[in-house]
A = this chain, B = another copy of it.
Amino acid sequence: MTSRVTIADVARLAGVSAVTVSKTLNNTGRISDDTRARVLRAVQDLGYIANPAARSLRGARSNLIGMVIPELMSPYFAELARAAAESAGEAGLDLGVFTTSRDPARERQRVAALTGGMADGVIIVVPTDDAAHLAILEKSRTPIVLISHFGAKTDLPNVRADSYHGACAATRHLLGLGHTRIGFVAGAVESTQAQERLRAYRDTMRERGLLDPELIRPGNFTQRRGFTATHELLALKEAPTAIFASSDATAFGALDAVKDRGLRVPQDISVVGFDDIATASQSHPALTTVRHPIRQMSEQALNLLASAFQGQDVRGTQLDHHSELVIRDSTAPPRTT
């Protein structure tokens, strides 16, 4: 509990002024080798660390990027945070991650603190869809980038990926393999992404005249529901030969259920997931799934921030990505009876 070591302490010990210490540490201005050495030693001895608050107050960069994100337990968000931390690190920036638990008030408060001088830039993942709030954010002096904002129109730069195209591709993949009875396990009803996935499946199936409401089961993104829904589906008189699950977790549940019935994936039943979480490639068989270009999105968000730092006007930037099908080992042509 020593009281804080300040630049004045260092200056005193080194026998110079505070300004000289500052210059030495920031490599600004000319400093004699001798002085530099004395200062550096004093810094060492005292374990001096510049007070970031004072620095930031003085207008200096904090080198901190704040990421405000709903939660970290879902692999999707965790991966987003990891990728952003990596991109930030490469740019010599720190990334601080703040979770909101989807509480709009908390989100507002944290964004305010971050934009209020604590951070050089802020990334908001799935921001609360509140036009009034977004209008305030647009006026922020600190650059803000949105990730996965699908709501009200805003000038804030936005990076996002849709679920529709990937889900279409997955359905077509199954169709192309020869499947005609394809079961679908939906995601949580309130999720716009889940709705898009279902819409894509519906559109694609209807296009081929293969849409059968019986094959669509409600779900909630969980593994447990994937298990039960798949059991329901496979118990049908005209059972499907493939299952498209709205999330990888749900697909894992489907995998479990298929095996539970003594069937094999993909020989007897094909399974497709959505998200491409880290464990998707590690299951047996490895899961065919749909992936959002998470790394790329994080990178672009960081790049957008970097551009803003350099004074570029990034308002109105909208970077849209498609989700992409990742074919692994859980899909194959249907068993020829």
A interface list, Cβ under 8 A from B? 1-4, 47, 49-54, 56-57, 64, 66, 71-73, 75, 78-79, 81-82, 85-86, 89, 94-99, 101, 106, 109-110, 112-113, 115-118, 136, 139-141, 222-224, 227, 249, 252-253, 256-257, 259-260, 278-279, 282-284
Residue contact B136 to A279, C-beta cutoff 8 Å: no
Main secondary structure of the interface of A (DSSP, over half): helix
CA distance A64 to B257 in the complex (A): 45
Residue contact B71 to A82, C-beta cutoff 8 Å: yes
Q: With A72-B82, A82-B71, A118-B118 given, is the CB distance from A52 to B2 under 8 Å?
A: no
Q: With A1-B141, A85-B101, A113-B94 given, is the CB distance from A52 to B223 under 8 Å?
A: no
Residue contact A253 to B284, C-beta cutoff 8 Å: yes
Residue contact A282 to B78, C-beta cutoff 8 Å: no
Residue contact A139 to B1, C-beta cutoff 8 Å: yes
A104 CB to nearest chain B CB (Å): 14
B residues near A95, Cβ cutoff 8 Å: 98-99
Q: Out of B3, B89, B97, name the residue touching A97 (CB < 8 Å).
A: B97
B residues near A81, Cβ cutoff 8 Å: 72, 97, 99
Q: Out of B51, B64, B115, B249, name the residue touching A282 (CB < 8 Å).
A: B249
Q: With A51-B57, A72-B82, A136-B47 given, is the CB distance from A96 to B94 under 8 Å?
A: no
Residue contact A224 to B256, C-beta cutoff 8 Å: no
B residues near A249, Cβ cutoff 8 Å: 279, 282
B residues near A99, Cβ cutoff 8 Å: 81-82, 85, 95, 97
A116 CB to nearest chain B CB (Å): 4
